[in-house]
Amino acid sequence: MYPKHFVGIADLDRSRLHAVLERAARLKHDLKVGRPHPLLPGKVAALIFQKPSLRTRVSFEVGMGQLGGRGLYLSPAEVGLGQRESPADVARVLSRMVQTIVARTYKHDDIVALAENATIPVVNALSDLEHPCQALADLQTMAETFGKLQGLTLAYVGDGNNVTHSLMLAAPQFGVNVRIATPPVYRPSAEVTRQAEALAEEDGTEISVMDDPYAAVRGADVIYTDTWYSMGQEEEAAERRPIFREYQVNDDLLRAAGPNTKVLHCLPAHRGDEITDAVIDGPASLVYDQAENRLHAQKALLVELLGAPPGAEE
């Protein structure tokens, strides 16, 4: 079975994605009722981070502990991925000592190189191309809020980035329609858009990319936004702000969506930029449930990748 990687959301096919979300809901329930679930006893996840993190680091470390294993955080200064040591050698060495590598990098190619050289599963904890763990938690949050995913409409508003890419590749596999509104020069990648359109066609859902945030959100079940400048792009903040201003998720945009529309944001939020205080702290916001679900969704993912027998947690 080894190694089963999660470099991009497409590494899990439709049935495995569904199985992960179902397991995530069971694990969340188990945790709430205090039922232990040590499904990965003694296993160690090496957590390689080239960028800052709150949610991803904490959820993987705590999650591995709850599964009976442990997470081992490795800071940029310790590993020096691609500087002190090549991704290939890091992957080969860690494969002799731990059971999975979770990596947050600047370059997606570094995660690909880890996966190509590891004999253990490699998990993308965010790269410049994708944030697939985030998409799992996002869909879990939508499923538990609406009681279903099939037929929902998700409107993503803002920068066409790593978070957008994983969402647009995941959502069609759950029957979720996707509308994306970005400034023209900040569209999601053309290649990812083609892949997402192909998936949407297969799954009978709709996907569209447009300029107008108001057109995107009208009647949507969920509005999703993320920072206008991702980690590594901070020096572009001043240039980007005026371009993205009309993509702010505020009361006007939420009202235009509809009375029951919910709001997601992967966090960290730049309040006053892509989202207002009133919206993120208001009744439509699901962002803290969404953040919590990183823990449950990733535990389910780890169980899937590290090969615990199906149903072992029952």
Binding interface with ligand CP (CB under 6 A): 53-56, 126, 134, 266-268
Q: Are 86 and 134 in contact (CB under 8 A)?
A: no
Q: Which does 199 bind (CB under 5 to 8 A by kind): ligand NVA, ligand CP, none?
A: none
Query: How far apart, in whole angstroms, are the C-alpha atoms of residue 107 and residue 158?
Result: 22
Q: Which does 227 bind (CB under 5 to 8 A by kind): ligand CP, ligand NVA, none?
A: ligand NVA
Q: Is the torsion defined by CA of 306, 309, 311, 313 positive or negative?
A: negative
Q: Which does 82 bind (CB under 5 to 8 A by kind): ligand NVA, ligand CP, none?
A: none
Residues tagged active-site: 104, 131, 134, 226, 266, 294
124 counts as binding ligand NVA under rule CB under 6 A: no
Q: Which residues of 262-283 are buried (b: 16+ CB within 10 A; e: fewer)?
A: bbbbbbebeeebbbbeebbeee
Query: How far apart, in whole angstroms, are the C-alpha atoms of residue 294 and residue 131?
Result: 12
Q: Are 243 and 211 in contact (CB under 8 A)?
A: no
Residue count, binding to ligand NVA (CB under 6 A): 10
Among 11, 130, 203, 226, binds ligand NVA (CB under 6 A): 226
Q: Which does 110 bind (CB under 5 to 8 A by kind): ligand CP, ligand NVA, none?
A: none
CA of residue 48 relative to chain centroid, distance: 17
Residue closest to ligand NVA, measured at CB: 230
In this chain, which stretch among 36-44, 156-164, 180-188, 213-221 interacts with ligand NVA, using CB under 6 A? 156-164
In this chain, which stretch among 155-163, 179-187, 199-207, 298-306 interacts with ligand NVA, using CB under 6 A? 155-163
243 counts as binding ligand NVA under rule CB under 6 A: no
Residue closest to ligand CP, measured at CB: 56
62 counts as binding ligand NVA under rule CB under 6 A: no
Q: Measured from the CB atom, is 94 or 247 closer to ligand NVA?
A: 247
The residue whose two tokens read 């890419």 is 165
Strands 177-181 and 262-265: unpaired
Strands 122-124 and 177-181: unpaired
Burial of 255 (0-12, 13-18, 19+ CB in 10 A): exposed
189 counts as binding ligand NVA under rule CB under 6 A: no
162 counts as binding ligand NVA under rule CB under 6 A: yes
Q: Which does 54 bind (CB under 5 to 8 A by kind): ligand NVA, ligand CP, none?
A: ligand CP
Q: Are 118 and 110 in contact (CB under 8 A)?
A: no
- Which strands form 222-225's sheet, in the order they lie side by side? 207-210, 177-181, 153-157, 222-225, 262-265
Q: Where are the beta strands (DSSP E) in the chain?
A: 44-49, 70-74, 100-104, 122-124, 153-157, 177-181, 207-210, 222-225, 262-265
Shortest Å, Cβ 62 to ligand CP: 13
Q: Are 93 and 119 in contact (CB under 8 A)?
A: no
Binding mask 69-108 for ligand NVA (x = CB under 6 A): ----------------------------------------
Shortest Å, Cβ 63 to ligand NVA: 17
227 counts as binding ligand NVA under rule CB under 6 A: yes
Q: Which does 44 bind (CB under 5 to 8 A by kind): ligand CP, ligand NVA, none?
A: none
Query: How far apart, in whole angstroms, are the C-alpha atoms of residue 51 and residue 207?
Result: 31
161 counts as binding ligand NVA under rule CB under 6 A: yes
Q: Which residues bind ligand NVA (CB under 6 A)?
A: 126, 131, 161-163, 226-227, 230-231, 266
